[in-house]
Structure 1
Amino acid sequence: MSNVEQAVQALNVHRRRAALSVLGITIGIAAVMAVGTISRGGNHLIYRELETFGLNSVWLYRNWNTQDVSLREKSGTGIDNDDFLSLQSDKKILGIRSITPIVNPNWNWSTTRGNREANAQHMGVGRDYTQISNDQLIAGRFLNQNDIDTRQSVVLLAPQVVQNLFDATENPVGQHIYIDRKRFLVVGLLAGKSRDFLASIGSSGGQNADDRILMPFTTLQRMMGLDEIDTFQFEVEDFNQAENTAQAARQRLLDNHPVGFDYRAETMSSYIETTDRILNGVSIIGIVSASISLLVGGMGIMNVMGTAVLERTREIGVRKAIGAREKDIMMQFLMEAGLISAVGGLLGLAIGTIASFVLAKVTGFPVIPSTWQVLAALFISISVGLLSGFLPARRAAKMKPVQALRTE
């Protein structure tokens, strides 16, 4: 009879005891699978949503929360069109690939078409905004330099605005809408951007990308009667130098406005670092929890195998008396421990996979299977079993045949 057959027969005699040992390993492996799968899915989802802002993006704007009270008293954004020209002309020196002004109105404007109305975010942007923000076009065209230079009354509409103002059968491109009772031509339609998860944790920047209306920033400035700019968003040449580029651009604004204003720069890399820390923290908590379950499962296997050695002392003596070697005895008990952990590992993989799909349904995270994770889980489960069974197996192998045969 082979070691495998002997192991199966021995475990079959004590099914309940073996089942309890299998349970601990099963829970641990299931936790490892679920945590790993959801962690990768969450990582994929978050990065996909962060990409909708532009992964190489930097935002530069007036710092209204500066500690210097005198710098909070002056009105205005502290950024104007001359600053745009200054940064644009030296963007290569500063490490900027492309840059766009962003202008936001100081009040809510109505957006209408006939008797239909949309609650929208009106944004005045430059030609390169859509490129920097990874916007995709589904119809029409983007804003061009002529729109900016001549302050054209043209707009790009995001999906929610289109849905509110037009019927599903209509083509909005070439149609007109009214913003603050002024007529605008729709020249393009933007693809939707999902930021549901970031919005759910309050990290979407307070912006629903699907209710935007984009127009030339010069047009919006004309409507407001100002030449101020609220924010610069730019794409850096080197992601690893984003912070240095951001501070160089901030210093340029400070040089342009030596009195009265302070500025703040935020990089996408800082958001990514924060996201990595959060995801790593969640993964560590899950791994610690799974490790505790595996430790408990391993202790269960050790106890089961220790009890098995005591109960089968006479059997061990008989086998050694008829010629069984130490390594044969040791291999038999290790095989039993390994079999327990392997069964627990396979059950854990199945339960963990099911749990991953259930959690994905609840959280909205995509399920991303991984071959290495399956192999790692099986390796861990079998390793735990073998390590836990080693001492009892060694004790069994070292028994003296005469003493073992005397045991009742």
Structure 2
Amino acid sequence: MLQSFKLAIKSIWSNKMRSFLTMLGIIIGVASVIILVSLVNAYMSYMTESFASLGTNQITVNMVNLPSRSVSVDEMYAFYDENTESFDHMTPMVSISAIVKNGTDSMTSTSVSGVSEDYLGVKDWMLAYGRNVQYADITARHKVCVIGAYVANELYGSAEKAYGETIKVNGYAFQIVGVVEQQDDDLEEGGTDDFLFMPYSCAVKMARNANINNYTFTIRDLSAATEGKTLIEDFLYEKFKNEDLYTVTAMSEMLDSLNSMIAMVSAGLGGIAGISLLVAGVGVMNIMLVSVTERTREIGIRKALGAKRSVIMQQFVIEAAVTSSLGGVIGILLGSIATSTIGALAGLNATPTPMAVIVSFSVSVGIGLLFGYMPASRAAKLNPIDALRSE
């Protein structure tokens, strides 16, 4: 075995250019698999993290309240109170299209919402200053609000300065009773920190809409998301008797679907890149057949001196496997460097996927063994006398 390995290295080294061209297909194939799979996984991981930041424990409810069939806030709270073993928080959601102003400075991109005292719990946010919207604010329709760090910085210079000040929403004056801690690394317009929320009772009055159509629940156990969703759907069906009048969406189920799609895309791209490895295998076989033809006299001499068929076959199989393995190692190195470089340029945290590295290298070695077998078998079957006569 050791002698066959040495002979394989010697043969590869004595034909450097031909050996490199033989390896090139393997190198490209292995590198392609690693780059494509790793970059797709990095991009999808980024998407998953972005999606997860929306709250995987949340269930959103959207309804169409009709004069004849509707669900009031009190009914939703009664349902929530009956199922607190399943749900952790619940808040009505009333979105308003509004201009937020402080003096002559105004903001049009700010997300303005009417919520309950549970909203901070739903979002899992902490306050930097002040307090949250309270139940008393909702019942008395106090004109108070809580703002994000971006709004505080843009209109007042800092969260500390914003606390306790007055801000105008569509011309109505609200007192800032709280400022939420900064969520994003960078404060930007339309970002996570660009928001204002107030008691939902005030938002309903400003929106001139007596019905609240949107609610957000959080579930206590992420594994019971489907059960929580079913509870809400059953309750709403009893009220509406028409599934078209409401939509219940569990974020965790959407995330599961996204993960399934990630796996399919990654496997598909890996398979496409893997086709180049198959083409490379044909190249290895062709070169090995040429090598057998060139070394026919050598094979004849070795067989005449007593070399067994298995030894001859072993020599050529090992040579093909070593060629493919070297190509695989070079492909892994190039693929790893390219993955990190392209990932950095694209702003992704891309690292070579261990599974892609293992599978691509294993396939490259397997290709060497598989496609090297036929030339090796042909060499082993040569008649010593005919081989010695070969020129």
TM-score using structure 1 length: 0.83
Matched residue, 1:176: 166
Residue number among 324, 329, 351 corresponding to 1:346 in the alignment: 329
Which residue of the partner structure matches residue 162 of structure 1? 152
Letter matched to residue 158 of structure 1 = G
1:126 to 2:127 alignment:
no
Question: Structure 1 residue 406 and structure 2 residue 384: aligned?
Answer: no
1:96 equivalent to 2:90? Answer: no
8 Å contact from structure 1 (residues 78, 261) kept in 2: no
Q: Which residue of 2 aligns with 1:54?
A: 55
Q: Find the residue that maps to 2:350 and give its secondary structure.
A: coil
User: Structure 1: which 5+ runs fail to align?
Assistant: 64-70, 195-206
Q: Deviations over 1:285-317 (max 9, x none)?
A: 311221111000111111111111111111111
Amino acid at match of 1:101: P
Contact 1:57/1:268, CA 8 A, preserved across alignment: yes
> Do the aligned partners of residues 208 and 370 (structure 1) sit closer, same or farther apart at CA in structure 2, a change above 3 Å counting?
same
Q: Is the alpha carbon distance of 1:403 and 1:230 closer, same or farther for their aligned partners in structure 2, counting shifts above 3 Å?
A: same
- How many residues align? The count is 385
Residue deviations 1:122-157 (CA, integer Å, cap 9, x gap): 111223323333445555554444444444433332
Residue in structure 2 matching 1:117, options 86, 96, 106: 106
Residues 1:192 and 2:183 aligned together: yes
Identify the range of structure 1 (364-373 vs 302-311) with the bigger mean alpha-carbon deviation.
364-373
C-alpha distance in 2 between matches for 1:324 and 1:257? 87
Relative distance call for 1:326 and 1:58 in structure 2 (3 A) is: same
Q: Which moved more, 1:272-281 or 1:26-35?
A: 272-281
Decide which of 339, 342, 345 is 1:356's aligned counterpart.
339
Structure 2: which amino acid aligns with 1:61? N
- Structure 2 equivalent of residue 268 of structure 1: 251
* Partners of 1:43 and 1:243 in 2: CA distance: 24
8 Å CA contact 1:23–1:344 kept in 2: the answer is yes
- Distance in 2 of aligned mates of 1:109 and 1:390: 74
Structure 2 match to 1:396: 379
Percentage of matched positions with identical amino acids: 27
Q: Residues 138-153 of structure 1: matches in 2 within 5 Å?
A: 138-153=128-143
SS of structure 1 residue aligned to 2:382: coil
TM-score (norm 2): 0.86
Q: Tell me the equivalent position of 2:16.
A: 15
2:162–2:176 Cα contact (<8 Å) kept: no
Name the amino acid aligned to 1:102: M
One-letter identity of the residue aligned with 1:397: A
SS at match of 2:53: helix
Q: Which runs of 5+ in 2 are unaligned?
A: none
User: 1:87 and 2:79 equivalent?
Assistant: yes
Task: Please state whether the residue corresponding to 2:117 is helix, strand or coil.
Answer: coil
| Contact residue 83 and residue 253 of structure 1 kept, 8 A | no
Partner of 1:251: 234
What is the rounded CA distance, in whole Å, between the counterparts of 1:124 and 1:76 in structure 2? Answer: 25
Greater shift in the superposed pair: 251-260 or 79-88: 251-260
The alpha-carbon deviation at position 394 of structure 1 amounts to 2.4
**Hey, what's the Cα distance between the residues in 2 that align with 1:351 and 1:76?**
67
Paired residues of 2:237 and 2:243 also in contact (CA < 8 A) = no
Contact 1:52–1:193 (CA under 8 A) maintained in structure 2: no
Determine the structure 2 residue equivalent to 1:41.
42
The one-character-per-residue Cα deviations of 1:371-405 (angstroms, maximum 9, x if unpaired) are 45433332222222222212212222233322321
Matched, 1:334 2:317: yes
Q: How far 1:265 moved relative to its partner?
A: 1.1
Residues 228-281 of structure 1: per-residue CA shift (max 9 Å, x gap): 323111123444443443243133234345699821112213422432343234
- Counterparts of 2:242 and 2:306, CA distance in 1: 96
- The residue aligned with 2:262 is 279
- Going from structure 1 to structure 2, the CA distance change for 1:265 and 1:310 (only over 3 Å counts) comes to same
1:26 Cα offset (Å): 1.0
Superposition RMSD in Å: 3.1
Following the alignment from structure 1 to structure 2, what is the Cα–Cα distance between the partners of residues 312 and 140? 86
Tell me, what secondary structure is at the counterpart of 1:2? helix
Structure 2 partner of 1:67: none
What residue identity is the alignment partner of 1:54?
G
Match of 2:281 in 1: 298
Inter-partner Cα distance in structure 1 for 2:361 and 2:318: 15
Provide closer, same or farther for how the CA distance between residues 171 and 352 of structure 1 changes in structure 2, counting only shifts above 3 A.
Answer: farther
Is the 1:110–1:180 Cα contact (8 Å) retained in structure 2?
Answer: yes
Deviations 1:174-230 (A, max 9, x none): 333222231221412243359xxxxxxxxxxxx853322122223323444554323
- Measure, in 1, the Cα distance between the counterparts of 2:265 and 2:241: 45
Residue 125 and residue 332 in structure 1: after superposition, are their counterparts in 2 closer, same or farther (change >3 A)?
A: same
Contact residue 5 and residue 318 of structure 2 kept, 8 A: yes
